[in-house]
Structure 1
Amino acid sequence: MKGLCDDGMLVEANHLLYSMFWRISQKGSGEDIVIYRILLDALCDDGKVEEALEILGKVLRKGLKAPKSIRRRLDLKKCRDGEDTEATKRLIHEALVRGGVPSMGSYSAMAIDLYNEGRVDEGDKVLDEMRKRGSSHHCQCTKQRQKL
Structure 2
Amino acid sequence: MLPQAAQLLNKIIKLDFQPDIVTYGAIFKGLCRIGDNASALTLLTKMHSAAHCKPNLVIYNTIIDSLCKDSLLQQAMDLFSAIKTDGIQPDVVTYNTLIRGFYNSGCREEAKGVLTEMLKSNITPDVTTFSILVDMFCKDGNVKEAQATLQLMTRKGVTPNIFTYNALLDGYCLRGQMEDAEKLLDIMTQNGCEPNVVMALLEDMEDKGIRPDIVTYNILMDSLCEAGQLEDAAKFFSDLVLKGLQPSLKTYNILVKGFCKKGLMNEADDVLRKMEKDGCLSEDIFLVMTFPRHYTTAIL
TM bracket (short chain): 0.3 to 0.5
The alignment's TM-score, normalised by the length of structure 2, stands at: 0.25
The alignment's TM-score, normalised by the length of structure 1, stands at: 0.43
Higher RCO structure, 1 or 2 (CA under 8 Å, sep 6+): 1
